[in-house]
Structure 1
Amino acid sequence: MTDLSKLLQCKMPLAAWVIDVEQSSVPWCNGAAEALLADSLGEIKSGQRMIGEALKERISLYLDGVEEGKSLTFDWPFISKEGIHYSCTGSVISLGQKRKGLSVEAHPVMKPRFSRDDQDVGLLAQFETLSFAIFNKNGVYCDSSECFKTHFGNINNVRDLFAVTDAADSFMSRFTQQESLSQEIMLSTLRGVRWHRIEVSQNKSTQKIYLLTHDIQEDRDHEVALYRLNNYDSLTNLPNRNLLYHQLENALVNASKRQRAFGILYLDLDGFKVINDNFGHRVGDELIQRVAERIKGSIPSGACLYRLGGDEFVVVLENIDSIEDLENIAKNIMQNASNTYPVAKMEMMITASIGIASYPQHANDVDNLLKNADAAMYRAKSTAHNMYFVYENKMADNINAHLTLGGGLRKAIEEEQFVLHYQPKIRLPDESVVGAEALIRWSHPELGMISPDQFIPLAEESGLIIPLGEWVICRACRQLQEWREAGYRPIKLSVNLSSRQFMQADLVDMVQRILEETGVDPKYFELELTESMLMADAQQSIEKLHGFRKLGLTLSIDDFGTGYSSLAYLKKFPIQTLKIDRSFIHDLGLDCDNDAIVKATVAMANSLNLKVIAEGVENRTQVDILNSYKCQEVQGYLFSKPLNSVDFALYMDIHGFYNVSVAVENDSV
């Protein structure tokens, strides 16, 4: 057994010392060690030098389980302040009381230096400005250019270059099987992990490995940026049309092989162009971003969302069991669209029309699948907003008609192919005619009379609703003057405004100009607006409505009960009339819920001093019920369908409107 007292009596020619691991101290060292360790150990406590906690923990890990007299296996390199390298070795000793210590000796060593032969010197000179390094056959570092050192720092082995251990193993394995190697790989540099192109060769005579590296990270970054530019939408970061076609082609191949189905949903936002034109593209872009986020959160994890551009999106779902899988996604999207979007310090609301098509039920190729989903979407848009339709064969014909009408719409405005029809408004209880609603029709030279349901959405989408709406207001005012000049007593004529018209900045000025040009008394002219239109930007709507009231116009909320206005705003809007939607009137007397709604609406309007008009009246039972509820006016097929100007004049003749000099003051009704 080696004893501490015996060790102290020994004269050791090398620097030697003893470490008491448990006490974290150096209880003994010779003169050589005293000089060597002067600046290397910690503070002196109780006359003994102390060792740091890191060294104590490291030694303790190796000391456990090692018998006395045995050497420790770990290597402990040490460099003196003079720059001399030492290799320290330790053996386990007994410090008494069953405590183990460590006897350490420091042996000076010469740092091995690689003797550069003439060939290596020549190569390094040749690659002086490049990142070039030389390694031995085992991958141990030999020498390198300054450019290599600046880029990678100090390394000991070629493996130190690789960011991933598996990549280093793969590299060494491949290189042992071939004399040269070229590849692109990620390496660890002083600037972090970066992409490099490496060229490696081996000199069989010297068994040296020559490595030339070229940093291509910026090239890779440019490639990624270019890929994203070509394949992703910059506004929403969603994949674009290119990646959509790529996925659809792959889905088609996979579905064909496995005899599975897949489908798409084609989405187009309702009335987005109105928002873009009236609030600006910044607001429109922000709304698109919010919509994209909400749609993405509304679809299942296995579905992919793409933006085609503008306000069009496509959802792709592979491996569907039935068309109901796609319909459920559409329903979820529509349900989530009922919440407003916080955009530019406003609460905006926008919905989407959705078309659905699937492979192989509706098409056998990608182009027709998209075209048919698009056709179904147009069907949804022409029917109502926030709806979806599954593709049917007849929809393709509707698309052709849609495109035909769209191409002729501008020409129709220029050639004034449009006419106004007029549906009488009847006062209760005496059932006298007190007004009319002007309704536009398209008298197409080839297709005949075209319903507004077919061309108004086209006019909205194309922006032609602005000149078309101005024509309607102008023509209605002229008609009022023509009836007056023909000797008919004055009646109040109402005109519907579209949402895009209402957002016109100069709408009030335009209406004022037409009234002045035609000489129409404003009290006989009424504008009908929907709840949704007014609530899109309630504060701006209030300002515009007050502008109309200053002109002396009457204002009416059309289709009341189908929108989302609140009573709080209803009190703020300077309106005079509520028009109950025909959907509530249709089952009046048959559906107690509808009865209650209509009765409550009339009572509420009367309490707010608002006139109530019920549209869609078709039978006497409805009239009797509305009369009992104290509804002031009605209109519908029971009294008359919409009539052209000539027939409406005859209608007024029948009801005693001609040559009556006393004007009816409708405002008090």
Structure 2
Amino acid sequence: MTDLSKLLQAKMPLAAWIIDVEQSSVPCCNQAAEALLIGSLNDIKSGQRAIPSELRERLSLHLASLDIGESLPFKWPFTSKDGVEYQVRGSVIALDNARKGLFIEAHPASQVDVVAVSQVDSLLDHHAGLLAQFRSLSFAIFDRHGAFVEASDYFITHFGGIKHVRELFAVSGAANSFIRRLAHQENLFQEIRLATQNGIRWHKIEVSYHPLTNMIYLLTHDIQEERDHEVALYRLNNYDGLTNLPNRNLLYHQLESALINARKRRRQFGLLYLDLDGFKVINDNFGHRVGDELIQRVAERIKESIPSGACLYRLGGDEFVVVLENTHSISELESIAESIMQNASNTYPVAKMEMMITASIGIASYPQHADNVDNLLKNADAAMYRAKSMGHNMCFVYQSSMADNIDAYLTLGGGLRKAIEEEQFILHYQPKIRLPDETVVGAEALIRWIHPELGMISPDQFIPLAEESGLILPLGEWVIRRACRQLQEWRKAGYPDIKLSVNLSSRQFMQADLVDMVEKVLEETGVDSKYFELELTESMLMVDAQQSIEKLHSFRKLGLTLSIDDFGTGYSSLAYLKKFPIQTLKIDRSFIHDLGLDSDNDAIVKATIAMANSLNLKVIAEGVENRAQVDVLNKYHCQEVQGYLFSKPLNSGDFLVYLDSHRAVV
């Protein structure tokens, strides 16, 4: 470096320095450069000063195409700390070990010499040499008006033959912006879509305008695969793979945005938290493939049920959230929930079956129910649990008391398994009354949980927990076994034989070995099967009608009586009703409540009894609470009734007392 150091000092008072591009350093500079560049260079070791990597890459690009003694085809401006403007030039020099470096000079702008025409011609002569360095890169040269001059083979293969830089752009607006910036002789570095031989693809472009040649140098790099990977990664992180719905991540983003907008503009927004009823039953009995297909059909149905301004998200499993911004009242959210529940009444075609599934829906709104995103979701979830504990296909708006309810709900869930092991359950029996003589001919067995700390717990609270957790199977078997033992105990005590019915849950009915289990219990307890009845709901039978028919026939071979419970609230067709080997229809209490007061209910009950009689089916009306209802049912020739007019569900001892006073005439 001795000769170069002398050269640097000989250049005084001009600021001059050496750049070792390969080592990314400034090995030496004269005193004028030291003063000019103070604060621009950082010491990294004695005699070595780092240069920015971006500048290094750019200089390397040009250094490869120039020979020793040749000048860089551009100059760049530099302003000192005291405001003096300079023009910086560079030329190629030889460093140690046959490496190339750059000799840099900074000239005050007022003293910059006019570039000779011969120098420009010399630079233009280097185009061919420059392009030869870009065999694997996409590089092109255009004049200052954008007309094509020359390009590397790679560029031509990628973009084809073009006459103007405008032809590269996929969007005319982008081309116009590019041309305007070139007119201002701006250098560009950006990501943009360009039209290639293989279609429109994303590229990184670097554009340099060289005033010495009045040429535009364009370097492009195809980044479409990188963009595709980014998009795929974004979808993976933010969208559900099964339904293509946005997931929990995007839900939180929208809720945070909605919260900011609502606070700023003093508006409301709300959400619906949906959880499917009994989905685990379907997954366990039909497999995850069927369950996944059902989830897809449900997602499609929900999207059809919500307004265009609402957004649907899948949180995972069988949970969904609907968000609606800029609401005016809770009733808007309730209306969406009603629409979802109404559309759920139709069956879902899944795996060549007609399946049914409903949803429990919780509703919460900002600012009425929470002032932040986490509490809003938590409260909507609590309202959903409230709906689930009250039955299927229901919705509830959040109330502050529900926070306690959800804690109790989860606490009960933790104690349910222990309760089964310790047999904390008992059966109560509600009498079934024959008309018109009003004698006891049977009873319905109803489970009750006697919690050691909480006392009597309603089935409405723990049956949904048992369904979801899978504990309904051992609990259901316990009910069947206990009911059969009770029948035998009454018989041995000398009481006349009566028919005892037990309700089956949907998950129990789908249990593969249900028929074998019931047969085994009957054999173990010695119960005559003609005195044992199973009550099933319409919706339960319609999940897979053909499989239901086969299972019902298996029960009939055992001699059991089969009854459809809550008749009129499900979705079975008369065609299937005829195919089901049942003996009894049980009219739902919702039709009995206004009997004699509502002509529509009267017509429905009368028609149901007439239809059942024509099919040789017995009819039982449940929920009978007054004499007027009994009078109407007698008039329509209903065979049996049950309800609080006659008796509430009774424990075994009280039931026997009632039986003695209302004993059937033999």
Q: Place the TM-score, normalised by the shorter chain, in its bin.
A: 0.7 to 0.9
Which residue is 1:217 aligned to?
A: 224
1:204 corresponds to 2:219: no
1:444 corresponds to 2:458: no
1:365 corresponds to 2:368: no
- Work out which of the residue numbers 464, 469, 472 in structure 2 matches 1:457: 464
1:602 corresponds to 2:633: no
- Work out which of the residue numbers 642, 645, 662 in structure 1 matches 2:649: 642
Deviates more, 1:499-508 or 1:551-560: 499-508
Q: CA deviation at 1:267?
A: 1.9
| Paired AA for residue 146 in structure 2 | G
Q: CA deviation at 1:202?
A: 3.4
- Work out which of the residue numbers 321, 330, 333 in structure 2 matches 1:323: 330
| Paired AA for residue 493 in structure 2 | A
Q: CA deviation at 1:364?
A: 0.8
Residue 159 to residue 619, structure 1, CA distance change in 2 (3 Å):
closer
1:146 corresponds to 2:153: yes
Which residue is 2:22 aligned to?
A: none
CA distance in structure 1 between the partners assigned to 2:362 and 2:247 by the alignment: 18
CA distance in structure 2 between the partners assigned to 1:427 and 1:377 by the alignment: 40
Deviates more, 1:324-333 or 1:221-230: 324-333
1:130 corresponds to 2:137: yes
Which residue is 1:521 aligned to?
A: 528
Residue deviations 1:51-77, cap 9 Å, x none?
A: xxxxxxxxxxxxxxxxxxxxxxxxxxx
Deviates more, 1:252-261 or 1:309-318: 309-318
CA distance in structure 1 between the partners assigned to 2:188 and 2:628 by the alignment: 93
Residue deviations 1:526-569, cap 9 Å, x none?
A: 10011221222222211111010001111111122222323322
Residue 160 to residue 626, structure 1, CA distance change in 2 (3 Å):
closer
1:350 corresponds to 2:357: yes
Q: Is the 8 A contact 2:135 2:154 kept in 1?
A: yes
Q: Is the 8 A contact 2:123 2:213 kept in 1?
A: no
Q: CA deviation at 1:259?
A: 0.9
Residue deviations 1:241-287, cap 9 Å, x none?
A: 11111111111111111111111122222332223222322222222
Q: Is the 8 A contact 2:391 2:460 kept in 1?
A: no
Q: CA deviation at 1:450?
A: 0.3
Residue deviations 1:365-386, cap 9 Å, x none?
A: 1111111122222222222333
Residue deviations 1:305-363, cap 9 Å, x none?
A: 21212222222111122222222222222232233332223333333222222111111
Residue 179 to residue 532, structure 1, CA distance change in 2 (3 Å):
closer
1:555 corresponds to 2:565: no
Q: CA deviation at 1:433?
A: 2.4
| Paired AA for residue 618 in structure 1 | E
| Paired AA for residue 444 in structure 1 | H
Which residue is 2:270 aligned to?
A: 263
CA distance in structure 2 between the partners assigned to 1:578 and 1:297 by the alignment: 35
Aligned ranges 1:323-342 → 2 under 5 Å: 323-342=330-349
Which residue is 2:96 aligned to?
A: none
Residue 299 to residue 619, structure 1, CA distance change in 2 (3 Å):
closer
| Structure 1 gap ranges (5+) | 1-113, 658-662, 665-669
CA distance in structure 2 between the partners assigned to 1:155 and 1:630 by the alignment: 91
Residue deviations 1:412-456, cap 9 Å, x none?
A: 222222111112222233333222111011111111110001111
- Work out which of the residue numbers 464, 474, 496 in structure 1 matches 2:503: 496
CA distance in structure 2 between the partners assigned to 1:136 and 1:622 by the alignment: 97
TM score, norm. by length of structure 2: 0.77
Which residue is 2:416 aligned to?
A: 409
Q: Is the 8 A contact 2:242 2:296 kept in 1?
A: yes
Instruction: Give the match's secondary structure for 2:360.
Output: strand
Residue deviations 1:24-83, cap 9 Å, x none?
A: xxxxxxxxxxxxxxxxxxxxxxxxxxxxxxxxxxxxxxxxxxxxxxxxxxxxxxxxxxxx
Instruction: Give the match's secondary structure for 1:139.
Output: coil
Residue 592 to residue 140, structure 1, CA distance change in 2 (3 Å):
closer
Which residue is 2:287 aligned to?
A: 280
Deviates more, 1:320-329 or 1:493-502: 320-329
Which residue is 2:431 aligned to?
A: 424
Residue 514 to residue 116, structure 1, CA distance change in 2 (3 Å):
farther
Which residue is 2:625 aligned to?
A: 618
Aligned ranges 1:560-575 → 2 under 5 Å: 560-575=567-582
Q: Is the 8 A contact 2:354 2:542 kept in 1?
A: no
Q: CA deviation at 1:178?
A: 5.6
Deviates more, 1:503-512 or 1:549-558: 503-512
- CA RMSD across the alignment: 2.4
| Paired AA for residue 220 in structure 1 | R
CA distance in structure 2 between the partners assigned to 1:202 and 1:607 by the alignment: 94
Instruction: Give the match's secondary structure for 2:533.
Output: strand
Q: Is the 8 A contact 2:270 2:365 kept in 1?
A: yes
Which residue is 2:544 aligned to?
A: 537
Which residue is 1:82 aligned to?
A: none
1:387 corresponds to 2:364: no
| Structure 2 gap ranges (5+) | 1-120
1:234 corresponds to 2:230: no
CA distance in structure 2 between the partners assigned to 1:253 and 1:537 by the alignment: 47
Which residue is 2:176 aligned to?
A: 169
Which residue is 2:595 aligned to?
A: 588
CA distance in structure 1 between the partners assigned to 2:394 and 2:656 by the alignment: 40
Q: CA deviation at 1:223?
A: 0.4
- Work out which of the residue numbers 299, 307, 310 in structure 2 matches 1:300: 307
Deviates more, 1:440-449 or 1:132-141: 132-141
CA distance in structure 2 between the partners assigned to 1:205 and 1:656 by the alignment: 116
CA distance in structure 2 between the partners assigned to 1:618 and 1:430 by the alignment: 17
Q: CA deviation at 1:494?
A: 0.7
Which residue is 2:513 aligned to?
A: 506
Which residue is 1:660 aligned to?
A: none
Give identity over the alignment, percent. 82
Residue 336 to residue 471, structure 1, CA distance change in 2 (3 Å):
same
Deviates more, 1:149-158 or 1:343-352: 343-352
Bigger radius of gyration: 1
CA distance in structure 2 between the partners assigned to 1:389 and 1:492 by the alignment: 38
TM score, norm. by length of structure 1: 0.77
CA distance in structure 1 between the partners assigned to 2:209 and 2:623 by the alignment: 92
Aligned ranges 1:176-191 → 2 under 5 Å: 176-177=183-184, 180-191=187-198
Q: Is the 8 A contact 2:621 2:642 kept in 1?
A: yes
- Work out which of the residue numbers 164, 169, 189 in structure 2 matches 1:157: 164
CA distance in structure 1 between the partners assigned to 2:657 and 2:338 by the alignment: 49
Deviates more, 1:550-559 or 1:119-128: 119-128
Q: CA deviation at 1:117?
A: 5.2
Residue 207 to residue 648, structure 1, CA distance change in 2 (3 Å):
same
Which residue is 2:68 aligned to?
A: none
CA distance in structure 1 between the partners assigned to 2:569 and 2:171 by the alignment: 63
Instruction: Give the match's secondary structure for 2:136.
Output: coil
How many residue pairs are counted as aligned between the two chains?
546
CA distance in structure 2 between the partners assigned to 1:249 and 1:357 by the alignment: 15
Which residue is 2:41 aligned to?
A: none
